[in-house]
Chains A and B, each alone.
Chain A
Amino acid sequence: MPIILNHSLIFLLLLFNLSVSGATVPNQTLKLLTSSSFDDKARAIEQLAQTGSETSERLLNAMAQGDLYYVKSNKRIVLTKNQDSKIQLTDAMTGEDLGLVSKRKVKKVSVNNKLRGQISTVISNFKLSHLDANIRLIAVENLMADASPEMLSQLQAMKQKESDPDVIDAIDTVTAFSQLKSTNLIQQLSAIETLDGHLNAEVLVRLKQLNLSSSNASVRLAAKKSISHIESKVSIFGHLETLFFGLSLGSILALAAIGLAITFGVMGVINMAHGELIMIGAYTTYVIQLLMPNHIAASLLVAIPAAFLVSALVGILIERSVIRFLYGRPLETLLATFGISLFLQQAVRSIFSPLNRPVVSPEWMSGSLEINALLSITYNRLYIFFFCLTIFALLYLIMTKTSLGLHVRAISQNRSMARAMGVRSQWVDVMTFGLGSGIAGVAGVALSQITNVGPNLGQAYIVDSFMVVVFGGVGNLWGTLISGLTLGVVGKFLEPATGAVLAKVLVLLFIILYIQKRPRGMFPQKGRAAGQ
């Protein structure tokens, strides 16, 4: 029964297929494929090569792998997959499912080594002349390991028509590789010259091999020069990458610390709950993403103002309920805010869960910018860096161009005088604390993109934030920014030599020692009143 069904199915589908001209492979060629003569099949391959279509490529791939069959009864070309003792058939052209048949119904389109070689040449030719430059590039790069002379001449021919510079470069590299192996000295030297400064890893390997194997002194010399040239480039780009990571880390530190710098500089309040305000910002991002699961791309843009508001409100609540009563007593404030931080941590643990919460990065933030083979910059860190600079610019504008900023600066320099001039210091304190807390929340949004969001997020950044503030000098935007960036860069440069943990310890030690020299930080507040 099933056999009859299959047959009728196949028949119907064949009819259907004939009326659909999706395949650009002529029937003539298909017939040749089903022949048992290898010459016929060779001709078929050539014809397929000329069509240059994707279907042909698929057919040829299958053929080379031995997956191309044809149904004995109607010479229909099919692709097969083993399913228990039967075979699953799919039409080679259209990809239609033709059901299960027994093995005896199909016959393989057999190939020999010669045909296989022909097929692989055809396929790589396909790739070489593909419309997409990337595919061409990959095809050429695949030839780097070994390229036959025919291949080389074909590549040279291709180069004439080639427009994409990367592909041209790759062709030159492949040619140079083969020239390295030649016995002609001039060719070798010219090849070395071509390869000089190339950042492809394979190039360095080849040059080193040549250096070891060559008997000619001038070749070795040229090779060595080239090698050192490449190696210096490698190290430069390595440093640039470290610098980038350092700046990225530093911008995050600066962003996390700026809120603290504001509250400490203006109000003399050391807020140990600052880390938790950052954490709240991160959790706000998580909640926003829960609320709008289908708009992850926009979720961050919504999260930024939301986190600002939430953290600012929490901060204002803290200020009004606790800190306000502890003015002039910085050490008590430190203790009380530490209590608040414990409170907030435990609250988050109870409300959400003690485990980390997943926060997704939107599409536009993933991926990276490749500058060359050695240096690629991830987009998320790049965006965060610019985000940080933007926030600082905004803060700078607020501090210098708005009246709130003016009042804040006045109070931080001489509170009693400012009050005497009519500045409502209590109101300014509330606003300042809110601003500082809000910025912390925004920092939390940024952090949620690169680190785990959990109740301990705050604790991980609080000591670092303090270090940035203490190092940079208090109440100074520039100080915090430069200090954060410096610490980030220094830490990252130390890391390869000492490991992440020891690097952190050394940075802490460095700050402790620096404070000996300049107890007020890099950019201290000036003026006689500042000392108090």
Chain B
Amino acid sequence: MIRKILQNHLHGRIFLCLLLILTLYVAFANLLLPSDHLLYVSTYTVTLLGKYLTYALLAIAVDLVWGYLGILSLGHGAFFALGGYVMGMYLMRQVGDRGVYGNPLLADFMVFLNWDSLPWFWLGFDQFWFAAIMIMLVPGTLAFVFGWFAFRSRVTGVYLSIMTQAMTYALMLAFFRNEMGFGGNNGLTDFKDLLGFSLQSDSMRVGLFVSSALALALGYWSCRAIVNSKLGRVSVAIRDSEDRVRFLGYQVDHFKLWVFTFSAVLAGIAGALYVPQVGIINPSEFSPINSIEIVVWVAVGGRATLLGAILGALMVNYAKTYFTGAFPEIWLFALGGLFIAVTLFAPRGVLGFFQRQDNRKSANQVGTE
């Protein structure tokens, strides 16, 4: 099955191989090599790479709805953040009585706010399986409800994009309030362990890294499966000419709804893997600029390619790490300039050059299955 989906996509196969090699190497180098070895990979790097991989998964999610369905979502960061918050809630519950106030049930910020009992929506988050389900359910439900309202009333184009931005902005405002019960502007932090293992240990870090790589691989594969199927082709048709697709008998709203929801779930999973690696989740993850940055990653790499999204996410975030370390003043200039340059000069992104050749090859092979 895996081979079948990717049999026309050499690049996809190469990518997965590279990912596998990278994962094995990093795991090996960090856990088994001594720290002064030439090929050693520091735990800091492991975490950084893991973070990049979750960003790559997030980028794929956005490419799916934007590149292939034509919905420019300026609020996908909200789904990422929601997944992150769910994971954060689980991790908070795991802290137990090792928090500053030593309350076995209540998190520190709850004690600080003089609450005497756990709010109802925190119940169940001490179980990993529950948290795992909620990681997918919470962003998915929000996407479903939002999409149901938006797509049914045929809101499209820029209006829809503005609506998504308003959604994430509203969530940001809401989560900043202390009374919401999610830590207010400090967010959730000071995590101790996950599934019983300490978050600080090397093996846990590597474990999270490997999970991120796995999630990315699965995410890529599932998106590829969608894109290659008729569903993907209908989506592309919707992107190009929505009305025409309606007249062919397809319920366009349903298609949009399901793809959008699936993409939100992917983003939520990415967020859930992100939080244990960076150790904190706070409401600024909901800020509109985060969501717009994701779009830039996809645009830089080349949209409607999936691999381009991954490439873009890695490139831009690496640049960000480098710049904010070396020349922090310049980073925002560089980011702004990147937006402008990509939209003006490279609308098809880095992979735009390779895209044309890939199209011809796959066009020759489609329909002869």
Residue of A with least CB distance to B169: A463
Taking a contact as CB atoms under 8 Å apart, the answer to whether B296 and A335 are in contact is: yes
Residue of B with least CB distance to A469: B162
Given A338-B292, A501-B177, residue A519 in contact with residue B158 (CB < 8 A):
no
B72 within 8 A of A: yes
Residue of A with least CB distance to B164: A512
Closest chain B CB from A465 CB (angstroms): 10
Residues in chain A near residue B173, CB distance under 8 A: 501, 504-505
Give the complex CA separation of A424 and B93 in angstroms: 65
Over the window 335-357 of chain B, the binary record of Cβ atoms lying under 8 Å from chain A Cβ atoms (1 yes, 0 no) is: 11111101110010000000000
Binding stretch for chain B, among A340-348, A388-396, A428-436: A340-348
Residues in chain B near residue A350, CB distance under 8 A: 329
* A347, A470, A505, A516: the one within 8 Å of B162 (CB): A470
Binding stretch for chain B, among A64-72, A99-107, A322-330: A322-330
Residue of B with least CB distance to A341: B336
A467 within 8 A of B: yes
Over the window 470-506 of chain A, the binary record of Cβ atoms lying under 8 Å from chain B Cβ atoms (1 yes, 0 no) is: 1000000000000000000000000000000110110
Residues in chain B near residue A504, CB distance under 8 A: 170, 173
User: What is the count of residue pairs linking A and B with beta-carbon distances less than 8 angstroms?
Assistant: 115
The interface size of chain B toward A, counting residues with CB under 8 Å, comes to 43
Taking a contact as CB atoms under 8 Å apart, the answer to whether A346 and B332 are in contact is: yes
Interfacial residues of chain A within 264-323, with CB under 8 A of chain B in the complex = 264, 270, 322
Give the complex CA separation of A350 and B152 in angstroms: 46
Over the window 265-291 of chain B, the binary record of Cβ atoms lying under 8 Å from chain A Cβ atoms (1 yes, 0 no) is: 000000000000000000000001100
Taking a contact as CB atoms under 8 Å apart, the answer to whether A515 and B340 are in contact is: no
Residues in chain A near residue B296, CB distance under 8 A: 335
Taking a contact as CB atoms under 8 Å apart, the answer to whether B153 and A338 are in contact is: no
Residue of A with least CB distance to B288: A463
Given A501-B176, A505-B174, residue A331 in contact with residue B344 (CB < 8 A):
no
Interfacial residues of chain B within 251-267, with CB under 8 A of chain A in the complex = none
B333 within 8 A of A: yes
Closest chain A CB from B329 CB (angstroms): 7
Over the window 282-316 of chain B, the binary record of Cβ atoms lying under 8 Å from chain A Cβ atoms (1 yes, 0 no) is: 00000011001001100100000000000000000
Residue of A with least CB distance to B292: A338
Taking a contact as CB atoms under 8 Å apart, the answer to whether A339 and B338 are in contact is: yes
Residues in chain A near residue B215, CB distance under 8 A: none
Taking a contact as CB atoms under 8 Å apart, the answer to whether A331 and B153 are in contact is: no
* A322, A331, A332, A463: the one within 8 Å of B166 (CB): A463
Residues in chain B near residue A374, CB distance under 8 A: none
* B74, B155, B340: the one within 8 Å of A519 (CB): B155
Given A463-B166, A504-B173, A516-B153, residue A335 in contact with residue B344 (CB < 8 A):
no
Given A335-B295, A350-B329, A512-B167, residue A270 in contact with residue B339 (CB < 8 A):
no
Residues in chain B near residue A177, CB distance under 8 A: none
Given A331-B158, A342-B339, A343-B337, residue A511 in contact with residue B150 (CB < 8 A):
no
Which residues in B have some Cβ–Cβ distance to A below 8 Å? 72, 74, 146, 149-150, 152-155, 157-159, 161-163, 165-167, 169-170, 173-174, 176-177, 288-289, 292, 295-296, 299, 329, 332-333, 335-340, 342-344, 347
11 A-B pairs with CB atoms under 8 Å apart are A270-B161, A332-B347, A335-B292, A339-B339, A342-B333, A342-B335, A463-B288, A470-B159, A508-B170, A512-B149, A517-B153
